[in-house]
Amino acid sequence: MTIHYYRDYKCRKCGLPYIPLPNASKCPYCGYPADQVFEDFMDSSLESVSYNINSWGIILPAAWGVFTAGDNYYLAGFYLLHSLYFKYLSENPGPQYLLHYRISLKELFEKISTKEECITKAKDMIMKSLSKVEDDKEKALLKHINIFLMRICDKFSEEK
Ligand SMILES: [Zn+2]
């Protein structure tokens, strides 16, 4: 199994499913204020990453169903961390190549990448996704997911 985000949310005005984040809680499409803020979202998403690593030895689950608005954010976060980790592995061959090597969240943020690399990768991911999307609501959601990714990048230290 995997850990999904248990709460769901939709804009009360335009119906966009998104996560009202602290300091980014208004609807990214229509700007309507959210009636709640999901303060626990960042911590929950990292717990889910930690669970994937501890249970499966991987950051990105082989199968991930999107059941709530938050699951889209989680998936983007998994992709981001997975691609940074993959780059680290290719540049640092060693015991981490062993199947089911467990990296802790602390190691993940201290060792595998830098804040700068993370931001570059996240922007690249979002730009690529935006170029494939026509719908304005989906574009607005992607930009909001980018805010979440930037907060993940804040967890990396500036220097390796
Ligand atoms: Zn809205």
Question: From start to end of 37-82, where are the E strands?
Answer: none
Q: How far is the CA of 24 from the centre of ligand 1 (A)?
A: 13
Ligand 1 being an ion, which residues bring their Cβ within 5 A of it?
11, 13-14, 16, 27, 29-30, 32
Give the CA angle between residues 90, 55, 83 to the nearest 5°: 30
Q: How far is the CA of 127 from the centre of ligand 1 (A)?
A: 22
Beta bridge partners of 10: 17
Q: How many contiguous H segments (helices) and E segments (strands) does the chain have?
A: 5, 0
Q: Which two tokens stand for residue 95?
A: 């015991």
- The residue extents of the domains of the chain are 41-153
Q: Which two tokens stand for residue 152?
A: 């993940």
CA distances from residue 13 to 9, 27, 75, 103 in whole angstroms, order as listed:
12, 9, 26, 42
Q: Which of 41, 155, 53 is nearest to 104 (CA)?
A: 53
The tens-digit pLDDT sequence of the chain (160 residues) is 778 888 899 999 999 999 999 999 999 999 999 999 999 999 999 999 999 888 887 888 888 888 899 999 999 999 999 999 889 888 887 765 555 567 788 888 998 899 999 999 999 999 999 999 999 999 999 999 999 999 999 999 876 6
Determine if the pTM surpasses 0.85: yes
